[in-house]
Amino acid sequence: MARRKATKPPGNPRRRMRGLTVATIFVFSIFAAQLLRIQGFDSSAVAAEALEQRTEKVTIPALRGKISSSDGVVLASSRARETVVADPTAVCTYKQKDKKKCVPATSGVAVDLAAKALAPLLGSTADALRPRLAGKGRYQVLDRKVSPLTWRKIAALGIPGIYRDSAESVPERVYPQGPNFASLVGFVTDDGAAGGGLESMMDKALKGTAGHSVFEKAPDGSKIPGGRQGGVRAVDGKDITLTVNSNIQWYAQNAIAQQMAKMGGQSGTAVVMNAKTSEILALASYPTYDPNDIGSAKGSLVNKALNDVFEPGSTAKVMTIAAAIEDKKVTPDQPVVIPNRMKRYDALFKDSHDHPTLNRTVAGTLAESSNIGTILIGETLESKRLEEYFRKFGLGSKSGLGFPGESAGLLAPAEKWSGTKRSTVMFGQGLSVTAIQAASVFQTIANGGVRMTPNLIEGTTNANGTFTKTASKPGTRVVSQDTASKVNAMLEGVVSKEGTAPQAQIPGYRVAGKTGTADFYDANLGKYSGKTASFIGYAPADDPEIVVAVIIQRPSASIFGGTVAGPVFHDVMTYALQELKVPPTGTTKAPIKIAVTPEEAASDPTTLRDKPRGSGK
């Protein structure tokens, strides 16, 4: 008979129970430790995480500050606008029995009803809205520029799935004055970014600081009434007040546009500034554009008074003659013998028209705008000294306005002036300026020889209503009061029947100024093509208040500054004097000596005349 295998006696039940108990206690201790960590040490972090999951943070855009003229006219402002979106998966239940899901048989009817209700409020048509209301996905933008009032009317319709997206809301920028201020004020793009002009220059102050709101939301994303809320308020941007007078700007802009149409010019600018402070009263530029419809803009998006450079021509003669008088090289009554032609190096210089040998004074040279006479006057100075004066007048440097894209002009160092260039710079060829630089030269003479830094910003107003005036900058002495007075008298001679700009005379007022006609360098063609016609002056000449500079590029009907730019100067200056209520001074200008006899010229040892040479000093 087979033997049975021996079996292992059963284990100790108490030992097994003890092991099971230990294992259970270990597991529970782990749970307890985790619970202690969650409820004790990490309770705040866990609570914050849970709160974050059931709250939403929405950005609140800051309202961009206003830009206003000195006389209180709003030039740029922002309006609150809502972005209205649709969730097609909910719109399809509008006015249907089943409010929770779309029913294919009735979805089309629901969408059609919603489209017809929304169309008049969104300024659209039902046919245009229908594809978006029935589109794919859960996010369809219907309109990004809905006013708060219109949004409240839309919300009152109770259409499921129609809501505003606060995160996408961007205030709308509007420009009430349209093209008249466009090149000065600039524009803002649809996404709120500054696109040029003062909008870019003052962007930091204008844009403010965005805030945000936080709210507790239900599982369906809706805001829980009475739930935890908070956030940071947006700080609106500062309002900017300009020195510009809206009426003078409007008049100057339209005067330039009309003359451009009459003369067939390529572009034009008009600068109006305070003669004593250099505050800008108008900065017109043509062609222009409509900043309210920037997508359709066809004109220039820059302000040509600050961005475009040109050779000034005869208006630069003021600097040459002022420098020679200041250094006591010449006097206003000093004779100048002006031949019909004069050779310097390999160039034969001439005036604007043929003439016999003329016997003029330094004052007469400026009044009749002689290139040859100006060269003879300028040759009394070393080239480096002449350059120093040009730079003191502001050439070769930006004006100090801080305007985006402003050019510094072109003024080469004297050591780089070629043989002929030494002569041409004296009458404004071979160097380039902006309209604001050219106007500043005359502001310096009008202000007794002190150049002031131009300014566009009168001050800023913060969200609390506190106005901060822009700090004034000290002036720079360029020439003495005596020299400025002498040049002033000579410039009055230009605006006379003996001068080149009788068209600039204004009844009742003494006017000083200078015409300019120069070759226009076309960068696109890479050569000179056409002319630059200009007139720059100020009034009243015996107590200057206003400086006006008019520049017209490539006119076709005429090319001379007196006939092309002079009439615009006359009209703009007349209007500005009336707008600012500047009265006539009632004084009479002192006569200046324009010409001398041949005998006087021959007998005066200081007479300036051509002495054939290979070069100047």
The tens digit of pLDDT for each residue in 373-405 reads 999 999 999 999 999 999 999 999 999 999 999
Transcribe 183-236 into DSSP letters: HHH--B-TTS-B-SHHHHHTHHHHH-B-EEEEEEB-TTSPBPTTS-EEEE--BP
pLDDT for the residue numbered 439: 97
- Of the candidates 315, 317, 308, 306, the residue with the CA atom closest to the CA atom of residue 265: 308
pLDDT for the residue numbered 540: 96
- Of the candidates 267, 262, 369, the residue with the CA atom closest to the CA atom of residue 318: 369
**Which pLDDT band, with edges at 50, 70 and 90, does 11 fall under?**
low
Q: What is the mean pLDDT of residues 494-505?
A: 79
pLDDT for the residue numbered 449: 98
The residue behind tokens 């969650």 is 38
CA dihedral 158, 79, 295, 126 (to 10 degrees): 20
Q: Domains in the chain, please, with CATH?
A: 59-81+175-242 (3.90.1310.10), 83-122+139-169 (no CATH), 246-293+304-455+470-603 (3.40.710.10)
Classify 284 as helix, strand or coil. strand
The residue behind tokens 């071979």 is 430
Alpha helices in 229-309 (DSSP H): 246-263, 304-307
Check the CA dihedral 51-52-54-55 and report its sign: positive
Percent of the chain residues topping a pLDDT of 70: 89
Written as one letter, the residue type at 21 is T
Please calculate the CA angle 389-365-348 and round it to the nearest 5 degrees. 85
Written as six digits, the tokens of 494 are 């230009």
The tens digit of pLDDT for each residue in 328-342 reads 999 999 999 999 999
**Which pLDDT band, with edges at 50, 70 and 90, does 616 fall under?**
very low
- Of the candidates 547, 548, 5, the residue with the CA atom closest to the CA atom of residue 276: 547
Cβ atoms of 333 and 362 closer than 8 Å? yes
Phi, psi of 595 (to 5 degrees): -130, 160
**Which pLDDT band, with edges at 50, 70 and 90, does 617 fall under?**
very low
The residue behind tokens 């004020």 is 185
Q: What is the mean pLDDT of residues 433-446?
A: 97
| pLDDT for 6 beyond 60 | no
Q: How far is CA 74 from the centre of its chain?
A: 16
Q: What is the mean pLDDT of residues 160-188?
A: 87
How far, in Å, CA of 439 to CA of 444, rounded?
9
Written as six digits, the tokens of 185 are 């004020």
Q: What is the mean pLDDT of residues 431-445?
A: 97
**Which pLDDT band, with edges at 50, 70 and 90, does 270 fall under?**
very high
Choice between 9 and 239, residue whose per-residue pLDDT is larger: 239
Q: What is the mean pLDDT of residues 412-424?
A: 93
CA dihedral 515, 520, 523, 525 (to 10 degrees): 160
Q: Which residues of 336-357 are buried (b: 16+ CB within 10 A; e: fewer)?
A: bbbbeebebeeeebebbeeeee
Cβ atoms of 364 and 593 closer than 8 Å? yes
Check the CA dihedral 292-295-300-301 and report its sign: positive
pLDDT for the residue numbered 44: 64
Transcribe 101-141 into DSSP letters: S--HHHHHHHHHHHHHHHHHHHTS-HHHHHHHHT-SSS-EE
- State how beta strands 229-232 and 162-164 pair: unpaired
Residues facing residue 173 across a β-bridge: 78
Alpha helices in 401-523 (DSSP H): 421-424, 435-446, 481-494
| pLDDT for 237 beyond 70 | yes
How far, in Å, CA of 381 to CA of 417, rounded?
14
pLDDT for the residue numbered 37: 64
Question: What pTM was computed for the model?
Answer: 0.82
Transcribe 529-556 into DSSP letters: EEEEEEEEEEESTTS--EEEEEEEES-S
The tens digit of pLDDT for each residue in 49-102 reads 655 666 777 777 788 999 999 999 999 998 888 889 998 888 888 888 767 777
| pLDDT for 174 beyond 80 | yes
Residues facing residue 269 across a β-bridge: 285, 551
The tens digit of pLDDT for each residue in 528-581 reads 889 999 999 999 999 999 999 999 999 999 988 889 999 999 999 999 999 999
How far, in Å, CA of 370 to CA of 350, rounded?
8
Comparing 88-102, 291-305, 346-360, 547-561, the range with the smallest average pLDDT is 88-102
pLDDT for the residue numbered 591: 87
